[in-house]
Structure formats: structure tokens, C-alpha cells
Amino acid sequence: MNVNYPSDKVQAAGAAVRIRRLEKRFQSVIAVDGVDIDVSAGEFLALLGPSGSGKTTILMSVAGFEFPTSGSISVGTEDLTYVPANKRNLGMVFQNYTLFPHMSVLDNVAFPLKMRGVPKAERYARAEEALATVRLAGYGSRHPNQLSGGQQQRVALARAIVYRPRVLLMDEPLSALDKNLREEMQLEIKRLHAELGITVIFVTHDQSEALTMADRVAVLKDGRIQQIGPSRELYERPANLFTAGFIGEMNFINVTAEGSGGNISVLLPSGERWQLPASAAVEPLTGCQKAVLAVRPERLQLGDAHNGFTFRVKVDDVVYAGSASLLIGTLPDSTEIRARLPGASDLSALALGSTAVFTIPKEAILLYPGAAQ
Ligand SMILES: Nc1ncnc2c1ncn2[C@@H]1O[C@H](COP(=O)(O)OP(=O)(O)OP(=O)(O)O)[C@@H](O)[C@H]1O
């Protein structure tokens, strides 16, 4: 196959990816259980979930290294469900860079073009451009073992974008890197995404990585989507108890809820009853049932702030951490409560073992059916 490329810089227009009722079984294991995802052209989507939730299987199905048991995958207007991986023209970057050790960096990057029959002068020119795009101009003559881990991962990126794929698939590409390098590469990949306009699907089990990098995040558990939406939505209004516990820090208080719609009250372990605003119930509640009241640690206010519900916490620990302090305490029924207090807070009254009063602003309360462990 001989492909003609315009000789401007490395540019790739993203294509939309549509995943429909995707199911993948490995004997008795249901790895992916009816997943629907629409990724817009040029969007950055993260697949986030605990180990074994099906992230890699979804990505491998899009890549063509796994074929689904049922369902369909299309890219742009093409149905790729059963098209072999090497015919899909999608870019891939994995955790282990899988560079060819015996080849120079330039040959590594030019390799996909060689496979596509691009003439030598053209493929080296394009490989040089791709290296410049990942800020490795001038490194072409080195061998992979002469580069740092981060540089090797950039080479892998350059190799994945050199043939201008419509979609870039990445499976935990940064997990082998140390923290600083990982953060640097997160920014680098975001920059590349913005510059190239390419569609990215990125697998990670690191929630902060997903929240900071992606336009939207799909949260998975047991092969099913729990929630899909922009980071802010996931953080501020998790759709269910699993997402509430999985994304960020959350306090959970088991309660008994009564009522429905705009008229819900909860009975706390202390015997107090709170009348909640209608906005609190994330999922529908029916009659009298076990429920969990959830609130982010940074939404708790020290003292009686007169704008919500007050409650008492026994102070177990206060950790000073510069911009904010973390208070760890317990309710009378020994439920743990964490509060993140602004750095300027006066913590002098919070002696260990003493009782502190906190306010939960009404609009910060989320209520889910079920029970927290
Ligand atoms: N080739 C296979 N044969 C049998 N079971 C498999 C195979 N690949 C995956 N599974 C199972 O499918 C489920 C989903 O696996 P998958 O690798 O997609 O999860 P993941 O979310 O990517 O996990 P991790 O973060 O650990 O990589 C798991 O229960 C896993 O054991």
C-alpha cells in the first residue's frame, strides 16, 4: 500500500468512535457486559475503573486484538467490529513501550510507515517531524537503551502518531514512570491531543490522571459503565454509591431515609432527623429504606455556619498539610469523618479527644440508597 501524505506537519483529524452493546466473555467470565460509549471526533475519553473492570478488554476490542462476543464497534462511518488490528489504522501506546531495541529511534518511529510502503526519504522526513512533535528532535540516531523511560515513552508516542491515525488508543501508558515524569507526560499528551485534534481513548486505574487529562471519563465496574461524563460532573454528583466512593475522598454516613421526591428526611445514627433538600437524592428513593448520606471532606465547615446541618465529631487526629489541614474524627456510632479545612483555619480548639462542631451545607449533601461498608 502506498500512501500519499501532504508534506505539512504531523496532523491527524480525529474520528468518532461508537461502541454499541459490547459484550466480551472469556469462558464463564463476562469481562465486558453490554457497554455503550460514543466518543466524539477529537474527544479525549478516559476509561477508569478498578483492576478487572474490563477497561483493557474494551480497548483491545477497539484496537482489534480482541473480537467481541457480541455488539459492534465503528470508527467514523466504518464498522470495524471484525476487522483485523493491522487493517484498522489506529495508533496504540502501551505501558511497556515495546520499541525495537536493535533499531535507532528514527527507524523505530519510521517503522509503521515502512510497513505501509512509504518511500524512504518521505518516511524519514515524517519520522523527524513526529519526533519534533514529541520534543525529541535530534534524538533520531540514538538507540532506545540510550534514552530515559520518559523519552522512550515519547518515542512510542511519536511512532503511534507518525501515520496520522484517526484514533489513538493508550493503555496505562504512564504507569511505569515515576510521579514527576508521569505528571510531565500527562501534560505532554494533553498538548499533543490539542495540537493534533486526534481522538484519544486512554485506559487508567488512576483517578487523578483520568480527571485531569480527559474531556470525559467513563467509570467501569464488573464490565459495566457506572457513569460517563465530564470530570466535574463525576466529582460533584457521582451517579451511584460506587462512583461516589471511587472518585475522590468521600464521607459516608449510614442513615434511614423516609419519604420520596422533594420530601425526604433521614434519621441519623445519633437519633437526629434532617429534612433534606430535593437535590440531595441522586437516585430515586422509595418509602423507608437504608440509605447513605455522602459529603466531600472539603465541604464540611468548622463550627455552626447556620447554612446547613450541624453535627458533633470527636477529634482523633489533625494533620497539618500546608494549604489545607486534614481532621480525622468519629461520630458517636464510630463512623469515621474526614474534613479538609482551609490552611488559614484556626485549629487551636481542636485538641485530640475533644468534640468539634461541624456544618454540612445543605447543597453539599448527596443521598444514595444502600449501605456503606
Ligand atoms: N484472555 C483472557 N482470558 C480469560 N479472562 C480474561 C482474559 N482477559 C481478561 N480476562 C478477564 O476479564 C476481566 C476484565 O479484564 P480486563 O483486563 O479488561 O480488566 P482491566 O479493567 O483492564 O484490569 P487491569 O486494570 O487489572 O488491567 C477480568 O476478570 C479478567 O480476569
Burial classification of residue 117, based on how many CB atoms lie within 10 Å of its CB (0-12 exposed, 13-18 middle, 19 or more buried): exposed
Contact 369, 289 (CB under 8 A): yes
Is residue 5 in some structural domain?
A: no
| Alpha carbon of 228 to ligand 1 centroid (Å) | 20
Is 204 a pocket residue for ligand 1 (Cβ < 6 Å)?
Answer: no
**Residue with CA at minimum distance from ligand 1 atom 28:** 52
* Of 366, 363, 312, the residue nearest 339 (C-alpha): 312
Q: How far is CA 335 from the centre of its chain?
A: 29
- The reply to whether 262 and 358 lie within a common domain is yes
pLDDT tens string, the chain, 373 residues long: the values are: 334 444 344 445 899 999 999 999 999 999 999 999 999 999 999 999 999 999 999 999 999 999 999 999 999 999 999 999 988 989 999 877 689 999 999 999 999 999 889 999 999 999 999 999 888 999 999 999 999 888 898 899 899 989 889 999 999 988 877 888 888 889 889 988 998 899 999 999 999 999 999 999 999 999 999 999 999 999 999 999 999 999 999 999 999 999 877 789 999 988 899 999 888 989 888 777 899 999 999 999 988 877 799 999 999 999 887 788 899 999 988 999 999 988 766 777 788 899 999 999 999 999 999 988 7
Best residue for ligand 1 mutational test, from 22, 25, 53 (most atoms within 8 Å of Cβ): 53
Is residue 11 in some structural domain?
A: no
* Cα 277 to Cα 221, 237, 369, distances in angstroms: 30, 15, 16
| Alpha carbon of 31 to ligand 1 centroid (Å) | 6
The Cα 23–Cα 318 span in angstroms is 47
Q: What pLDDT sits at residue 8?
A: 43
Best residue for ligand 1 mutational test, from 23, 26, 51 (most atoms within 8 Å of Cβ): 26
Is 26 a pocket residue for ligand 1 (Cβ < 6 Å)?
Answer: yes
Q: Residue 190 belongs to what domain range?
A: 17-241
- The reply to whether 139 and 280 lie within a common domain is no
Is 65 a pocket residue for ligand 1 (Cβ < 6 Å)?
Answer: no
- The reply to whether 164 and 256 lie within a common domain is no
The Cα 356–Cα 368 span in angstroms is 26
User: Structurally, how many domains does the chain consist of?
Assistant: 2
| Alpha carbon of 306 to ligand 1 centroid (Å) | 49
Q: What is the pTM of this model?
A: 0.88
Is 55 a pocket residue for ligand 1 (Cβ < 6 Å)?
Answer: yes
Query: Domain boundary residue among 223, 241, 259?
Result: 241
Q: How many C-beta atoms lie closer than 10 Å to residue 93's C-beta?
A: 23
* Of 211, 238, 213, the residue nearest 292 (C-alpha): 238
Residue 108 phi/psi, 5-degree rounding, is -60, -45
Is 222 a pocket residue for ligand 1 (Cβ < 6 Å)?
Answer: no
In the DSSP assignment, the letter for residue 220 is E
The Cα 210–Cα 39 span in angstroms is 15
- The reply to whether 91 and 121 lie within a common domain is yes
Which CATH number is 294's domain given? 2.40.50.140
- The reply to whether 145 and 77 lie within a common domain is yes
Is residue 10 in some structural domain?
A: no
* Of 223, 225, 245, the residue nearest 235 (C-alpha): 245
- The reply to whether 69 and 142 lie within a common domain is yes
Is residue 12 in some structural domain?
A: no
- The reply to whether 214 and 298 lie within a common domain is no
Query: Domain boundary residue among 241, 275, 307?
Result: 241
Is 56 a pocket residue for ligand 1 (Cβ < 6 Å)?
Answer: yes
The Cα 348–Cα 329 span in angstroms is 16
Best residue for ligand 1 mutational test, from 32, 55, 69 (most atoms within 8 Å of Cβ): 55
- The reply to whether 210 and 286 lie within a common domain is no
Query: Domain boundary residue among 217, 241, 265?
Result: 241
- The reply to whether 152 and 289 lie within a common domain is no
- The reply to whether 90 and 176 lie within a common domain is yes
| Alpha carbon of 55 to ligand 1 centroid (Å) | 8
Q: What pLDDT sits at residue 9?
A: 45
- The reply to whether 310 and 234 lie within a common domain is no
Q: Looking at this protein, which amino acid is placed at residue 127?
A: A
- The reply to whether 53 and 183 lie within a common domain is yes
Is 334 a pocket residue for ligand 1 (Cβ < 6 Å)?
Answer: no
The Cα 225–Cα 47 span in angstroms is 9
Is residue 236 in some structural domain?
A: yes
